[in-house]
């Protein structure tokens, strides 16, 4: 058994290692090293906990066994998961953090002596508040992430589920949580503690169901943030520095990502939370404006011809590329183009895909060097002096309406200036609107050639035609 | 008058939020997905609480109602720790520069 002071210092060290882990992500070169820092921090925290409790009886054997069971499951998932499924994986992992926080809070509530928080029925007031906050946030994270997981996985429809009085109900339940925490502090009653957790589960579900599929990047980031705050709440209860530092880091990380995502969609955080976006709001304006405008459509041969004669091509990938698993075919196409001395770069909109950085991972998986991949603000000026823009699976993020029509729901959203290219190749299954439910003006421009097909099949056909 | 230790923990918490703020803004956007998976892995340091709860049982009764929740939380957090770090590692291995393009 080691002293509380010594273990606190080790927890501080593991907290610092976690900071370095995030710091490493500032560039791909240092990121792998950063990940090792994170692993080291985790090992230190776990080993120190074993020594600080100092119980080396049968319990420890079971702890190690359960640790290895979980570890084996986790490792299995990590190696098997396809990169296109990263958003659901992350949502699933968030739910586990949330549930773990709930379980730890329950354990602390049932056996406060083990955590040095007082006795059953006489838990210290501050600890009680901290653990109820940890449990409530953890429960919201859990059930919210489950819903996000189901939506991303396609088990549940991605369209928003709304009903009248929804926000009012959420408000009541939110207030209810605080009232319950108050009564819990007064009475120390176990029943109130259970009700608190149940209501929090319900709030998590109600919070996420009205949010549509296109807002998923915000939701995932937000849940990421919640999982951090839940960890911090538990960290305060356990008086554990490593947990407090980590909770704060993760909480602010998720909050920043949510902010970046909201900004990239020109939506306020509140309006995302209130939900209902992308349901049916704009079907009427589609009808009145665009009745059968002419669209130029082409085939793989035309596309290959256009690109062969170009000197620079910019590729704009989107969620459709992920769905069709077209990233490897795309890479093949780019290799062919490069052999013909055509300059190829990739342009990525911050909300392309279903989570922050989703497209970058998919391109990296297909062996695309990361220094050919550019963010919106770095590449947007290059469209004007490029020959071909190849839009594959993206839609709303290229819609020029965002710049021209103040009535459009996406007005003001930063978009890629694809239409400034000499010609635009747009791979899409049909003319149907994207998630925002609005027509893309780009389809009807003179310099746009629509390629109606599955993204992967079309790309493969183009590859054949490039020979 | 003595300062309540809670205030120190609160200070650590607030300062860590600031550290998090600056560190995360410096993360390159192309690594935002690994950022999420690694934050997910490190937030599972909550396993510390789970271990304390699980070890609270005695040799005669390893499993009481409180330690059972501890054990369950250990499994959940361990899935996250191993899964989170390994999947991050897998992703980061894929990020390559132009030079080592040839496999």
How many other CB atoms sit within 10 Å of the CB of residue A361? 27
What does the pLDDT read at residue A279?
Answer: 44
Quick check: B39 pLDDT over 70? yes
Asked if A57 lies within 8 A of B58 by C-beta distance, the reply is yes
Interface confidence: ipTM more than 0.90 = yes
Q: Which residues of B touch A50 (CB under 8 A)?
A: 51, 55
Asked if A245 lies within 8 A of B65 by C-beta distance, the reply is no
Give the three-state DSSP class for A280: coil
Distance between CA atoms of residues A63 and B72, nearest Å: 10
Asked if B41 lies within 8 A of A42 by C-beta distance, the reply is yes
Measured in whole angstroms, how far is the alpha carbon of residue A427 from the centre of its chain?
25
Two structure tokens written together for A351: 């909300």
Catalytic residues of A, which ones? Answer: 396
What does the pLDDT read at residue A412?
Answer: 81
Asked if B46 lies within 8 A of A231 by C-beta distance, the reply is yes
What does the pLDDT read at residue A159?
Answer: 77
pLDDT per residue of chain A (467 residues) written in tens, 0 to 9? 678 889 999 999 999 999 999 999 999 889 999 999 999 999 999 999 999 888 778 888 889 999 999 999 999 999 999 888 899 999 999 999 999 999 999 999 998 888 888 888 888 888 899 999 999 999 999 999 999 999 888 888 777 787 778 888 888 998 999 999 999 988 888 899 999 999 999 999 998 888 877 788 888 999 999 999 999 999 999 889 999 999 999 999 999 999 998 888 887 877 777 765 544 443 344 444 445 577 888 888 888 888 888 888 999 998 888 888 888 899 989 988 888 888 899 999 988 888 888 899 999 988 898 888 999 888 888 888 888 889 988 888 888 888 888 877 778 888 888 888 888 888 888 777 766 667 788 888 888 888 888 888 888 888 888 87
The string of DSSP letters for A177-242 reads HHHHHHHHHHH--HHHHHHHHHHHHHHHHHHHTTS-GGGHHHHHHHHHHHHHHHHHHHHHHHT-HH
What does the pLDDT read at residue A350?
Answer: 87
Give the three-state DSSP class for A98: helix
Q: Which residues of A touch B59 (CB under 8 A)?
A: 57-59
Residue from the list B31, B34, B98 with its beta carbon closest to the beta carbon of A371? B98
Quick check: B14 pLDDT over 90? yes
Contact at 8 Å (CB) between A18 and B45? yes
Q: What is the pTM of this model?
A: 0.89
Q: Which residues of B touch A223 (CB under 8 A)?
A: none
Asked if A60 lies within 8 A of B55 by C-beta distance, the reply is yes
What does the pLDDT read at residue B103?
Answer: 38
Distance between CA atoms of residues A33 and A37, nearest Å: 6
Residue A38 to chain B, least CA–CA distance (Å): 7
Quick check: B5 pLDDT over 90? no
Q: Which residues of B touch A356 (CB under 8 A)?
A: 29, 32-33, 35-36
Measured in whole angstroms, how far is the alpha carbon of residue A442 from the centre of its chain?
28
Residue from the list B44, B91, B95 with its beta carbon closest to the beta carbon of A97? B44
**B36 at the A interface (CB within 8 A)?**
yes
**Letter string b/e over residues A153-180, b meaning 16 or more CB atoms within 10 A of that residue's CB:** eeebebebbeeeebeeebeeebebbeeb
Asked if A90 lies within 8 A of B37 by C-beta distance, the reply is yes
Question: H/E/C letters for each residue in chain B?
Answer: CCCCHHHHHHHHHHHHHHHHHHHHHCCCHHHHHHHHHHHHHHHHHHHHHHHHHHCCCCCCCCCCHHHHHHHHHHHHHHHHHHHHHHHHHHHHHHCCCCHHHCC
Two structure tokens written together for B45: 């340091």
Distance between CA atoms of residues A142 and A158, nearest Å: 19
List Cα–Cα distances, A75 to A40, A204, A216, A428, in angstroms: 17, 28, 26, 36
């Amino acid at each position: 058994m080691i002293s509380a002071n010594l273990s606190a210092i080790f927890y501080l060290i593991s907290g610092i290692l976690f900071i370095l882990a995030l710091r490493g992500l500032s560039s791909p070169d240092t990121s792998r090293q950063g990940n090792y820092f994170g692993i080291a921090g985790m090992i230190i925290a776990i080993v120190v906990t074993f020594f600080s409790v100092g119980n080396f009886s049968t319990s420890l054997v079971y702890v190690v066994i359960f640790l290895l069971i979980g570890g084996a499951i986790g490792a299995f998932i990590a190696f098997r998961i396809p990169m296109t499924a990263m958003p659901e994986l992350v949502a699933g992992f968030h739910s586990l953090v949330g549930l773990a926080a709930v379980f730890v809070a329950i354990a602390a509530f049932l056996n406060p002596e083990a955590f040095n928080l007082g006795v059953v029925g006489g838990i210290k007031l501050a600890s009680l508040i901290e653990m109820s906050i940890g449990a409530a946030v953890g429960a919201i994270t859990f059930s919210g992430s489950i819903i996000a997981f189901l939506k991303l996985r396609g088990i549940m429809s991605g369209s928003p589920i709304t009903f009248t009085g929804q926000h009012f109900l959420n408000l009541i339940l939110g207030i209810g949580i605080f009232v319950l925490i108050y009564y819990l502090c007064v009475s120390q009653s176990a029943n109130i503690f259970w009700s608190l957790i149940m209501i929090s589960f319900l709030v998590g579900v109600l919070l996420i169901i009205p949010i549509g599929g296109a807002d998923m990047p915000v939701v995932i980031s937000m849940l990421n943030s919640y999982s951090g705050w839940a960890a911090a709440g538990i960290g305060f209860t356990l008086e554990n520095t490593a947990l407090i530092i980590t909770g704060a880091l993760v909480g602010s990380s998720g909050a920043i990502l949510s902010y970046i995502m909201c900004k990239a969609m020109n939506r306020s955080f509140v309006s995302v939370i209130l939900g209902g976006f992308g349901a049916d709001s704009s079907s009427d304006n589609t009808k009145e404006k665009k009745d059968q405008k002419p669209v130029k459509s082409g085939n793989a041969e035309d596309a290959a011809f256009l690109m062969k004669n170009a000197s620079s091509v910019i590729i704009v990938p989107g969620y459709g590329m992920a769905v069709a698993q077209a990233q490897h075919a795309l890479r093949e196409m780019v290799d062919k183009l490069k052999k013909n001395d055509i300059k190829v770069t990739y342009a990525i909109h911050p909300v392309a895909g279903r989570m922050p950085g989703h497209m970058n991972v998919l391109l990296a998986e297909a062996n695309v060097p990361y220094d050919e991949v550019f963010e919106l603000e770095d590449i947007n000026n290059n469209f004007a002096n490029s020959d071909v823009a190849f839009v594959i699976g993206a839609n709303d993020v290229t819609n020029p309406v965002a710049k021209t029509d103040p009535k459009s729901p996406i007005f003001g959203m930063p978009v890629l200036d694809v239409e400034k290219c000499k010609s635009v190749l747009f791979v899409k299954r049909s003319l149907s609107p994207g998630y925002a439910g609005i027509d893309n003006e780009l389809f009807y421009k003179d310099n746009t050639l629509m390629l109606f097909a599955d993204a992967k099949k079309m790309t493969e056909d183009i590859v054949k035609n490039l020979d | 008058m003595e300062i309540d230790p809670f205030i120190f923990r609160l200070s650590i918490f607030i300062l860590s939020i600031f550290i998090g703020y600056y560190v995360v803004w410096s993360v390159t956007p192309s690594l935002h997905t690994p950022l999420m998976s690694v934050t997910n892995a490190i937030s599972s340091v909550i396993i510390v609480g789970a271990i304390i709860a699980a070890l609270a049982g005695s040799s005669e009764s390893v499993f009481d109602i409180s330690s059972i929740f501890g054990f369950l939380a250990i499994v959940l957090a361990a899935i996250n720790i191993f899964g989170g770090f390994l999947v991050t590692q897998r992703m980061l291995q894929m990020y390559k520069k132009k030079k080592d393009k040839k496999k």
